[in-house]
Structure 1
Protein backbone atom coordinates (compact mmCIF):
# COMPACT_ATOMS: atom_id res chain seq x y z
CA UNK A 1 0.00 0.00 0.00
CA UNK A 2 1.01 3.58 -0.58
CA UNK A 3 1.32 6.27 2.06
CA UNK A 4 -0.54 9.59 2.06
CA UNK A 5 2.36 11.51 0.51
CA UNK A 6 1.23 10.64 -2.99
CA UNK A 7 2.96 11.97 -6.10
CA UNK A 8 0.84 14.44 -8.03
CA UNK A 9 1.16 12.61 -11.32
CA UNK A 10 0.11 9.03 -12.04
CA UNK A 11 2.59 8.58 -14.84
CA UNK A 12 6.22 7.77 -14.11
CA UNK A 13 8.79 8.33 -16.87
CA UNK A 14 11.16 5.49 -17.70
CA UNK A 15 14.65 5.60 -16.28
CA UNK A 16 16.14 5.78 -19.75
CA UNK A 17 15.32 8.09 -22.64
CA UNK A 18 12.58 6.57 -24.78
CA UNK A 19 11.66 3.87 -22.25
CA UNK A 20 7.92 3.11 -21.96
CA UNK A 21 6.19 5.24 -19.32
CA UNK A 22 4.39 3.33 -16.60
CA UNK A 23 1.47 4.04 -14.32
CA UNK A 24 -0.52 2.17 -11.72
CA UNK A 25 -3.56 -0.01 -12.29
CA UNK A 26 -4.58 -0.68 -8.74
CA UNK A 27 -1.38 -1.82 -7.05
CA UNK A 28 0.12 -3.10 -10.32
CA UNK A 29 2.48 -1.13 -12.53
CA UNK A 30 1.47 -1.20 -16.20
CA UNK A 31 2.41 0.60 -19.39
CA UNK A 32 0.67 3.99 -19.35
CA UNK A 33 -0.74 3.27 -22.80
CA UNK A 34 -2.55 0.20 -21.44
CA UNK A 35 -4.34 1.71 -18.46
CA UNK A 36 -7.37 3.10 -20.31
CA UNK A 37 -8.16 -0.28 -21.87
CA UNK A 38 -7.68 -2.08 -18.53
CA UNK A 39 -10.04 0.36 -16.80
CA UNK A 40 -12.49 -0.10 -19.70
CA UNK A 41 -12.46 -3.83 -19.05
CA UNK A 42 -13.40 -3.22 -15.42
CA UNK A 43 -16.38 -1.06 -16.29
CA UNK A 44 -17.50 -3.23 -19.19
CA UNK A 45 -17.73 -6.01 -16.63
CA UNK A 46 -19.65 -4.11 -13.93
CA UNK A 47 -21.84 -1.73 -15.98
CA UNK A 48 -25.03 -3.77 -15.73
CA UNK A 49 -24.79 -4.08 -11.93
CA UNK A 50 -23.14 -0.73 -11.27
CA UNK A 51 -26.10 0.98 -9.57
CA UNK A 52 -26.96 -2.05 -7.45
CA UNK A 53 -23.37 -2.38 -6.28
CA UNK A 54 -23.15 1.33 -5.46
CA UNK A 55 -26.15 1.01 -3.15
CA UNK A 56 -24.89 -2.19 -1.57
CA UNK A 57 -21.25 -1.28 -0.95
CA UNK A 58 -22.02 2.23 0.37
CA UNK A 59 -25.24 1.22 2.13
CA UNK A 60 -26.96 3.94 0.11
CA UNK A 61 -24.74 6.73 1.45
CA UNK A 62 -23.45 7.54 -2.06
CA UNK A 63 -26.80 9.25 -2.65
CA UNK A 64 -26.08 11.69 0.18
CA UNK A 65 -22.58 12.38 -1.20
CA UNK A 66 -24.08 13.15 -4.60
CA UNK A 67 -26.85 15.29 -3.11
CA UNK A 68 -24.25 17.44 -1.35
CA UNK A 69 -22.37 17.78 -4.65
CA UNK A 70 -25.54 18.99 -6.36
CA UNK A 71 -26.17 21.46 -3.54
CA UNK A 72 -22.63 22.87 -4.01
CA UNK A 73 -22.90 23.14 -7.80
CA UNK A 74 -24.71 26.48 -7.94
CA UNK A 75 -26.30 25.33 -11.20
CA UNK A 76 -29.19 27.45 -12.45
CA UNK A 77 -31.73 27.35 -15.26
CA UNK A 78 -30.23 27.91 -18.70
CA UNK A 79 -26.69 26.86 -17.80
CA UNK A 80 -24.48 24.25 -19.48
CA UNK A 81 -23.17 21.38 -17.35
CA UNK A 82 -20.64 18.64 -18.11
CA UNK A 83 -21.07 15.48 -16.04
CA UNK A 84 -17.72 13.87 -16.76
CA UNK A 85 -17.19 10.16 -16.12
CA UNK A 86 -20.93 10.38 -15.56
CA UNK A 87 -21.49 6.63 -15.70
CA UNK A 88 -25.11 5.70 -15.22
CA UNK A 89 -26.25 9.31 -14.97
CA UNK A 90 -27.22 9.92 -11.34
CA UNK A 91 -25.92 13.50 -11.39
CA UNK A 92 -26.91 14.17 -15.01
CA UNK A 93 -30.53 13.30 -14.22
CA UNK A 94 -30.67 15.91 -11.45
CA UNK A 95 -28.79 18.52 -13.49
CA UNK A 96 -31.22 18.02 -16.39
CA UNK A 97 -34.04 19.23 -14.16
CA UNK A 98 -31.96 22.04 -12.66
CA UNK A 99 -30.96 23.63 -15.99
CA UNK A 100 -34.42 23.24 -17.53
CA UNK A 101 -35.45 23.51 -21.16
CA UNK A 102 -33.06 26.38 -21.92
CA UNK A 103 -30.01 24.64 -20.49
CA UNK A 104 -27.91 21.66 -21.55
CA UNK A 105 -26.31 18.73 -19.78
CA UNK A 106 -23.60 16.62 -21.41
CA UNK A 107 -23.14 13.17 -19.94
CA UNK A 108 -19.63 12.12 -20.92
CA UNK A 109 -17.79 8.89 -20.20
CA UNK A 110 -14.80 7.17 -21.76
CA UNK A 111 -16.54 3.80 -21.41
CA UNK A 112 -19.19 2.98 -23.99
CA UNK A 113 -20.87 0.32 -21.83
CA UNK A 114 -21.41 2.77 -18.98
CA UNK A 115 -22.60 5.46 -21.38
CA UNK A 116 -25.22 3.12 -22.87
CA UNK A 117 -26.51 2.16 -19.42
CA UNK A 118 -26.74 5.83 -18.47
CA UNK A 119 -28.49 6.80 -21.70
CA UNK A 120 -31.08 4.03 -21.37
CA UNK A 121 -31.68 4.86 -17.71
CA UNK A 122 -32.24 8.59 -18.35
CA UNK A 123 -34.44 7.97 -21.37
CA UNK A 124 -36.56 5.65 -19.24
CA UNK A 125 -36.98 8.58 -16.85
CA UNK A 126 -38.24 10.71 -19.76
CA UNK A 127 -35.18 12.95 -19.75
CA UNK A 128 -34.40 13.62 -23.40
CA UNK A 129 -34.61 17.20 -24.61
CA UNK A 130 -31.67 18.86 -22.83
CA UNK A 131 -29.29 15.89 -22.53
CA UNK A 132 -26.41 14.91 -24.80
CA UNK A 133 -24.16 11.85 -24.60
CA UNK A 134 -20.49 11.96 -25.56
CA UNK A 135 -17.84 9.26 -25.35
CA UNK A 136 -14.81 11.26 -24.26
CA UNK A 137 -11.40 10.96 -22.66
CA UNK A 138 -11.01 13.38 -19.75
CA UNK A 139 -7.41 14.08 -20.77
CA UNK A 140 -8.48 15.51 -24.16
CA UNK A 141 -12.05 16.76 -23.90
CA UNK A 142 -13.65 17.27 -27.33
CA UNK A 143 -15.28 20.60 -26.49
CA UNK A 144 -14.40 24.23 -27.31
CA UNK A 145 -12.77 26.48 -24.73
CA UNK A 146 -15.13 28.10 -22.20
CA UNK A 147 -18.09 25.78 -22.90
CA UNK A 148 -19.52 24.90 -19.48
CA UNK A 149 -20.74 26.72 -16.39
CA UNK A 150 -20.12 23.70 -14.19
CA UNK A 151 -18.18 20.45 -14.52
CA UNK A 152 -18.58 17.49 -12.21
CA UNK A 153 -16.54 14.30 -12.08
CA UNK A 154 -17.81 11.80 -9.51
CA UNK A 155 -15.76 8.72 -8.69
CA UNK A 156 -13.96 8.91 -12.01
CA UNK A 157 -10.77 10.91 -11.55
CA UNK A 158 -8.90 8.07 -9.83
CA UNK A 159 -9.28 5.97 -13.00
CA UNK A 160 -7.68 8.60 -15.26
CA UNK A 161 -4.13 7.85 -16.39
CA UNK A 162 -2.80 11.43 -16.28
CA UNK A 163 -4.80 13.38 -13.73
CA UNK A 164 -2.87 16.63 -14.23
CA UNK A 165 -3.65 16.58 -17.95
CA UNK A 166 -7.31 15.82 -17.27
CA UNK A 167 -7.65 18.67 -14.77
CA UNK A 168 -6.05 21.06 -17.26
CA UNK A 169 -8.50 19.88 -19.93
CA UNK A 170 -11.41 20.54 -17.57
CA UNK A 171 -10.06 24.00 -16.78
CA UNK A 172 -9.86 24.79 -20.51
CA UNK A 173 -13.51 23.93 -21.27
CA UNK A 174 -14.89 25.63 -18.16
CA UNK A 175 -16.27 29.14 -18.60
CA UNK A 176 -14.75 32.03 -16.64
CA UNK A 177 -16.69 32.15 -13.39
CA UNK A 178 -17.49 28.45 -13.63
CA UNK A 179 -16.71 25.76 -11.10
CA UNK A 180 -15.33 22.23 -11.05
CA UNK A 181 -16.57 19.71 -8.51
CA UNK A 182 -14.52 16.54 -7.95
CA UNK A 183 -16.30 13.94 -5.84
CA UNK A 184 -13.93 11.09 -5.12
CA UNK A 185 -12.87 8.50 -2.60
CA UNK A 186 -10.13 9.92 -0.42
CA UNK A 187 -8.16 9.31 2.78
CA UNK A 188 -9.95 8.67 6.12
CA UNK A 189 -8.96 11.19 8.77
CA UNK A 190 -9.00 8.76 11.72
CA UNK A 191 -6.43 5.95 12.00
CA UNK A 192 -8.78 3.48 13.67
CA UNK A 193 -11.52 4.17 11.18
CA UNK A 194 -8.96 3.81 8.38
CA UNK A 195 -8.06 0.30 9.55
CA UNK A 196 -11.72 -0.76 9.65
CA UNK A 197 -12.23 0.74 6.20
CA UNK A 198 -9.22 -1.18 4.84
CA UNK A 199 -10.58 -4.43 6.24
CA UNK A 200 -13.99 -3.78 4.67
CA UNK A 201 -12.47 -2.75 1.33
CA UNK A 202 -10.14 -5.71 0.89
CA UNK A 203 -12.16 -8.48 2.56
CA UNK A 204 -15.81 -7.61 2.00
CA UNK A 205 -16.01 -5.63 -1.24
CA UNK A 206 -14.48 -8.31 -3.50
CA UNK A 207 -16.80 -10.96 -2.02
CA UNK A 208 -19.77 -8.65 -2.51
CA UNK A 209 -18.69 -8.06 -6.10
CA UNK A 210 -18.47 -11.79 -6.70
CA UNK A 211 -21.91 -12.43 -5.20
CA UNK A 212 -23.77 -9.61 -6.94
CA UNK A 213 -21.83 -8.86 -10.13
CA UNK A 214 -20.01 -12.19 -10.50
CA UNK A 215 -16.77 -10.19 -10.53
CA UNK A 216 -14.47 -10.03 -7.53
CA UNK A 217 -11.43 -8.76 -9.46
CA UNK A 218 -13.06 -5.47 -10.50
CA UNK A 219 -13.92 -4.67 -6.90
CA UNK A 220 -10.43 -5.65 -5.79
CA UNK A 221 -9.25 -3.05 -8.32
CA UNK A 222 -11.73 -0.55 -6.85
CA UNK A 223 -10.22 -0.96 -3.38
CA UNK A 224 -6.67 -0.67 -4.73
CA UNK A 225 -7.41 2.33 -6.97
CA UNK A 226 -8.78 4.24 -3.99
CA UNK A 227 -5.52 3.76 -2.10
CA UNK A 228 -3.51 4.93 -5.10
CA UNK A 229 -5.54 8.14 -5.48
CA UNK A 230 -3.96 11.41 -4.22
CA UNK A 231 -4.98 12.50 -0.74
CA UNK A 232 -7.07 15.60 -0.10
CA UNK A 233 -4.24 18.13 0.12
CA UNK A 234 -2.40 16.67 -2.88
CA UNK A 235 -5.48 16.88 -5.10
CA UNK A 236 -6.10 20.44 -3.90
CA UNK A 237 -2.57 21.38 -4.99
CA UNK A 238 -3.01 19.63 -8.34
CA UNK A 239 -6.14 21.68 -9.05
CA UNK A 240 -4.37 24.91 -8.10
CA UNK A 241 -1.38 24.03 -10.29
CA UNK A 242 -3.51 23.92 -13.46
CA UNK A 243 -5.15 27.28 -12.68
CA UNK A 244 -8.15 26.68 -10.41
CA UNK A 245 -8.74 29.36 -7.79
CA UNK A 246 -10.33 29.27 -4.32
CA UNK A 247 -9.88 25.49 -4.16
CA UNK A 248 -11.43 23.89 -1.09
CA UNK A 249 -12.46 20.41 -0.07
CA UNK A 250 -15.04 18.96 2.28
CA UNK A 251 -14.59 15.54 3.87
CA UNK A 252 -17.60 13.26 4.16
CA UNK A 253 -18.05 10.03 6.11
CA UNK A 254 -14.78 10.52 7.95
CA UNK A 255 -12.79 11.29 4.82
CA UNK A 256 -13.79 8.13 2.92
CA UNK A 257 -15.04 10.62 0.34
CA UNK A 258 -14.09 14.24 -0.28
CA UNK A 259 -15.67 16.88 -2.48
CA UNK A 260 -13.11 19.26 -4.00
CA UNK A 261 -14.35 22.54 -5.45
CA UNK A 262 -12.42 25.00 -7.59
CA UNK A 263 -13.28 28.05 -9.69
CA UNK A 264 -12.01 29.50 -12.96
CA UNK A 265 -11.70 33.29 -12.92
Structure 2
Protein backbone atom coordinates (compact mmCIF):
# COMPACT_ATOMS: atom_id res chain seq x y z
CA UNK A 1 0.00 0.00 0.00
CA UNK A 2 1.43 3.45 -0.85
CA UNK A 3 2.66 5.45 2.11
CA UNK A 4 0.07 8.16 1.51
CA UNK A 5 -2.85 5.73 1.24
CA UNK A 6 -5.78 6.04 3.62
CA UNK A 7 -6.91 2.59 4.82
CA UNK A 8 -9.95 4.02 6.63
CA UNK A 9 -13.15 4.98 4.80
CA UNK A 10 -13.26 8.44 3.24
CA UNK A 11 -14.33 11.05 5.78
CA UNK A 12 -16.19 14.09 4.48
CA UNK A 13 -16.61 15.67 7.92
CA UNK A 14 -13.33 17.65 7.96
CA UNK A 15 -14.51 19.45 4.83
CA UNK A 16 -17.92 20.00 6.41
CA UNK A 17 -16.24 21.55 9.47
CA UNK A 18 -14.21 23.88 7.24
CA UNK A 19 -17.40 25.05 5.55
CA UNK A 20 -19.14 25.49 8.90
CA UNK A 21 -16.27 27.71 10.01
CA UNK A 22 -16.39 29.73 6.77
CA UNK A 23 -20.15 30.23 7.17
CA UNK A 24 -19.98 31.17 10.87
CA UNK A 25 -21.95 34.45 11.13
CA UNK A 26 -19.49 35.95 13.63
CA UNK A 27 -16.05 34.66 12.65
CA UNK A 28 -16.47 33.33 9.12
CA UNK A 29 -15.48 34.63 5.69
CA UNK A 30 -17.67 37.58 4.62
CA UNK A 31 -17.97 36.27 1.05
CA UNK A 32 -18.98 32.76 2.11
CA UNK A 33 -21.47 34.10 4.65
CA UNK A 34 -23.36 36.23 2.14
CA UNK A 35 -23.86 33.43 -0.41
CA UNK A 36 -27.16 31.63 -0.92
CA UNK A 37 -28.40 28.79 -3.14
CA UNK A 38 -28.92 31.01 -6.17
CA UNK A 39 -25.52 32.72 -6.01
CA UNK A 40 -23.69 29.40 -5.60
CA UNK A 41 -25.63 27.53 -8.31
CA UNK A 42 -23.57 28.94 -11.23
CA UNK A 43 -20.37 27.75 -9.55
CA UNK A 44 -21.90 24.30 -9.07
CA UNK A 45 -22.66 24.06 -12.79
CA UNK A 46 -19.19 25.37 -13.68
CA UNK A 47 -17.47 22.80 -11.46
CA UNK A 48 -19.46 19.96 -13.05
CA UNK A 49 -18.26 21.10 -16.47
CA UNK A 50 -14.67 21.27 -15.23
CA UNK A 51 -14.97 17.66 -14.06
CA UNK A 52 -16.16 16.72 -17.55
CA UNK A 53 -13.28 18.69 -19.09
CA UNK A 54 -10.69 16.87 -16.97
CA UNK A 55 -12.18 13.54 -18.05
CA UNK A 56 -12.14 14.66 -21.69
CA UNK A 57 -8.42 15.51 -21.36
CA UNK A 58 -7.72 12.25 -19.48
CA UNK A 59 -6.00 14.37 -16.79
CA UNK A 60 -6.32 12.39 -13.58
CA UNK A 61 -4.57 14.98 -11.41
CA UNK A 62 -7.00 17.63 -12.63
CA UNK A 63 -9.92 15.22 -12.20
CA UNK A 64 -8.98 14.67 -8.56
CA UNK A 65 -8.89 18.43 -7.96
CA UNK A 66 -12.10 19.12 -9.88
CA UNK A 67 -13.99 16.39 -8.05
CA UNK A 68 -12.89 18.07 -4.82
CA UNK A 69 -14.24 21.39 -6.08
CA UNK A 70 -17.52 19.73 -7.03
CA UNK A 71 -17.74 18.02 -3.64
CA UNK A 72 -17.24 21.42 -2.01
CA UNK A 73 -20.37 22.61 -3.82
CA UNK A 74 -22.40 19.80 -2.24
CA UNK A 75 -21.06 20.69 1.19
CA UNK A 76 -21.66 24.42 0.60
CA UNK A 77 -25.31 23.97 -0.43
CA UNK A 78 -25.87 21.55 2.44
CA UNK A 79 -24.45 24.01 4.97
CA UNK A 80 -26.70 26.81 3.67
CA UNK A 81 -29.66 24.43 3.95
CA UNK A 82 -28.74 23.37 7.48
CA UNK A 83 -28.45 26.96 8.65
CA UNK A 84 -31.90 27.66 7.18
CA UNK A 85 -33.35 24.57 8.88
CA UNK A 86 -34.09 22.60 5.69
CA UNK A 87 -31.77 19.59 5.83
CA UNK A 88 -28.20 18.58 6.70
CA UNK A 89 -25.26 17.11 4.84
CA UNK A 90 -26.00 13.80 6.55
CA UNK A 91 -29.56 13.94 5.18
CA UNK A 92 -28.10 14.36 1.68
CA UNK A 93 -25.76 11.39 2.14
CA UNK A 94 -28.50 9.21 3.64
CA UNK A 95 -30.94 10.18 0.91
CA UNK A 96 -28.69 9.30 -2.01
CA UNK A 97 -27.58 6.06 -0.30
CA UNK A 98 -31.17 4.94 0.17
CA UNK A 99 -32.06 5.98 -3.39
CA UNK A 100 -29.21 3.96 -4.92
CA UNK A 101 -30.25 0.87 -2.99
CA UNK A 102 -33.92 1.40 -3.87
CA UNK A 103 -33.16 1.83 -7.57
CA UNK A 104 -30.97 -1.30 -7.74
CA UNK A 105 -33.24 -4.11 -6.52
CA UNK A 106 -31.48 -6.40 -9.00
CA UNK A 107 -28.34 -5.94 -6.86
CA UNK A 108 -29.65 -5.33 -3.33
CA UNK A 109 -33.10 -6.87 -3.47
CA UNK A 110 -35.13 -9.39 -5.43
CA UNK A 111 -32.32 -11.02 -7.40
CA UNK A 112 -33.56 -9.97 -10.86
CA UNK A 113 -30.89 -10.54 -13.51
CA UNK A 114 -28.34 -7.73 -13.79
CA UNK A 115 -29.05 -7.21 -17.48
CA UNK A 116 -32.56 -6.08 -16.52
CA UNK A 117 -31.16 -3.41 -14.25
CA UNK A 118 -31.41 -0.32 -16.46
CA UNK A 119 -35.03 -0.94 -17.33
CA UNK A 120 -35.87 -1.42 -13.66
CA UNK A 121 -34.00 1.82 -12.83
CA UNK A 122 -36.17 3.80 -15.25
CA UNK A 123 -39.36 2.14 -14.02
CA UNK A 124 -38.51 2.92 -10.41
CA UNK A 125 -37.68 6.54 -11.27
CA UNK A 126 -41.03 6.89 -13.03
CA UNK A 127 -42.83 5.44 -9.99
CA UNK A 128 -41.01 7.88 -7.70
CA UNK A 129 -42.05 10.82 -9.86
CA UNK A 130 -45.65 9.63 -9.93
CA UNK A 131 -45.65 9.41 -6.18
CA UNK A 132 -44.38 12.89 -5.38
CA UNK A 133 -44.88 15.22 -8.35
CA UNK A 134 -48.04 17.18 -9.05
CA UNK A 135 -46.93 17.08 -12.68
CA UNK A 136 -47.82 13.60 -13.89
CA UNK A 137 -46.44 14.06 -17.40
CA UNK A 138 -43.94 11.53 -18.71
CA UNK A 139 -41.69 14.57 -19.22
CA UNK A 140 -41.87 15.73 -15.59
CA UNK A 141 -38.65 16.23 -13.66
CA UNK A 142 -36.27 17.03 -16.52
CA UNK A 143 -34.38 20.00 -15.11
CA UNK A 144 -34.77 23.21 -17.08
CA UNK A 145 -31.24 24.28 -16.14
CA UNK A 146 -29.63 21.42 -18.09
CA UNK A 147 -27.59 22.33 -21.19
CA UNK A 148 -30.00 22.64 -24.09
CA UNK A 149 -28.69 19.67 -26.07
CA UNK A 150 -28.74 17.40 -23.02
CA UNK A 151 -32.24 18.50 -22.03
CA UNK A 152 -33.51 17.92 -25.57
CA UNK A 153 -32.09 14.38 -25.50
CA UNK A 154 -33.67 13.62 -22.12
CA UNK A 155 -37.05 14.98 -23.22
CA UNK A 156 -36.89 12.86 -26.38
CA UNK A 157 -35.98 9.73 -24.42
CA UNK A 158 -38.90 10.29 -22.07
CA UNK A 159 -41.29 10.73 -25.01
CA UNK A 160 -39.87 7.64 -26.70
CA UNK A 161 -40.61 5.54 -23.61
CA UNK A 162 -44.31 6.24 -24.21
CA UNK A 163 -44.01 5.01 -27.82
CA UNK A 164 -43.89 8.49 -29.37
CA UNK A 165 -40.77 8.17 -31.51
CA UNK A 166 -39.61 7.74 -35.09
CA UNK A 167 -39.58 4.02 -35.97
CA UNK A 168 -36.36 4.32 -37.98
CA UNK A 169 -33.50 6.64 -38.95
CA UNK A 170 -35.08 7.52 -42.29
CA UNK A 171 -37.90 9.38 -40.59
CA UNK A 172 -35.44 11.38 -38.47
CA UNK A 173 -33.31 12.31 -41.49
CA UNK A 174 -36.40 13.37 -43.44
CA UNK A 175 -37.41 15.58 -40.51
CA UNK A 176 -33.98 17.24 -40.51
CA UNK A 177 -34.29 17.97 -44.21
CA UNK A 178 -37.77 19.40 -43.65
CA UNK A 179 -36.55 21.64 -40.81
CA UNK A 180 -33.56 22.83 -42.84
CA UNK A 181 -35.90 23.84 -45.66
CA UNK A 182 -38.02 25.77 -43.15
CA UNK A 183 -34.89 27.60 -41.97
CA UNK A 184 -34.29 28.69 -45.58
CA UNK A 185 -37.89 29.86 -45.85
CA UNK A 186 -37.90 31.83 -42.59
CA UNK A 187 -38.57 35.51 -43.22
CA UNK A 188 -37.87 37.21 -39.89
CA UNK A 189 -35.44 37.00 -36.95
CA UNK A 190 -38.14 35.39 -34.80
CA UNK A 191 -38.83 32.77 -37.48
CA UNK A 192 -35.12 32.05 -37.87
CA UNK A 193 -34.87 31.62 -34.09
CA UNK A 194 -37.75 29.15 -34.04
CA UNK A 195 -36.76 27.17 -37.13
CA UNK A 196 -33.09 26.85 -36.16
CA UNK A 197 -34.26 25.60 -32.77
CA UNK A 198 -36.42 22.99 -34.49
CA UNK A 199 -33.46 21.98 -36.66
CA UNK A 200 -31.17 21.57 -33.66
CA UNK A 201 -33.82 19.53 -31.86
CA UNK A 202 -34.09 17.23 -34.87
CA UNK A 203 -30.30 16.81 -35.05
CA UNK A 204 -30.29 15.79 -31.38
CA UNK A 205 -32.95 13.24 -32.29
CA UNK A 206 -30.67 11.82 -35.00
CA UNK A 207 -27.78 11.63 -32.52
CA UNK A 208 -30.04 9.81 -30.05
CA UNK A 209 -31.10 7.24 -32.65
CA UNK A 210 -27.46 6.62 -33.51
CA UNK A 211 -26.70 6.38 -29.75
CA UNK A 212 -24.37 9.39 -29.98
CA UNK A 213 -24.12 11.80 -27.04
CA UNK A 214 -25.00 15.07 -28.79
CA UNK A 215 -23.44 17.23 -26.05
CA UNK A 216 -20.16 15.29 -26.18
CA UNK A 217 -20.17 15.24 -29.99
CA UNK A 218 -20.54 19.02 -30.13
CA UNK A 219 -17.76 19.47 -27.57
CA UNK A 220 -15.50 17.29 -29.73
CA UNK A 221 -16.36 19.23 -32.88
CA UNK A 222 -15.76 22.55 -31.12
CA UNK A 223 -12.42 21.36 -29.77
CA UNK A 224 -11.41 20.21 -33.26
CA UNK A 225 -12.32 23.59 -34.74
CA UNK A 226 -10.44 25.40 -31.98
CA UNK A 227 -7.30 23.31 -32.52
CA UNK A 228 -7.32 23.90 -36.28
CA UNK A 229 -8.00 27.61 -35.89
CA UNK A 230 -5.11 27.97 -33.45
CA UNK A 231 -2.89 26.12 -35.92
CA UNK A 232 -3.90 28.63 -38.62
CA UNK A 233 -2.92 31.48 -36.28
CA UNK A 234 0.41 29.82 -35.50
CA UNK A 235 1.23 29.38 -39.19
CA UNK A 236 0.32 32.93 -40.18
CA UNK A 237 1.52 34.72 -37.08
CA UNK A 238 0.59 38.37 -36.60
CA UNK A 239 -0.48 38.66 -40.23
CA UNK A 240 -3.46 36.35 -39.72
CA UNK A 241 -6.22 38.94 -39.05
CA UNK A 242 -5.38 40.86 -42.22
CA UNK A 243 -5.37 37.89 -44.59
CA UNK A 244 -8.10 37.49 -47.18
CA UNK A 245 -10.79 34.87 -46.74
CA UNK A 246 -9.19 32.86 -49.56
CA UNK A 247 -5.82 32.87 -47.77
CA UNK A 248 -7.49 31.83 -44.53
CA UNK A 249 -9.29 29.00 -46.30
CA UNK A 250 -5.92 27.80 -47.64
CA UNK A 251 -4.52 27.94 -44.10
CA UNK A 252 -7.52 25.98 -42.84
CA UNK A 253 -6.80 23.20 -45.32
CA UNK A 254 -3.12 23.23 -44.31
CA UNK A 255 -4.04 23.01 -40.63
CA UNK A 256 -6.45 20.17 -41.38
CA UNK A 257 -3.71 18.23 -43.18
CA UNK A 258 -1.40 18.66 -40.19
CA UNK A 259 -4.01 17.17 -37.87
CA UNK A 260 -5.17 14.35 -40.13
CA UNK A 261 -3.25 11.09 -39.57
CA UNK A 262 -1.60 9.60 -42.65
TM-score over 0.5 (shorter chain): no
* Structure with greater strand share of residues: 1
TM-score by length of 2: 0.23
TM-score by length of 1: 0.23
- The structure showing larger relative contact order (alpha-carbon pairs under 8 Å, at least 6 residues apart) is 1
* Structure with greater helix share of residues: 2
Larger Cα-atom Rg: 2
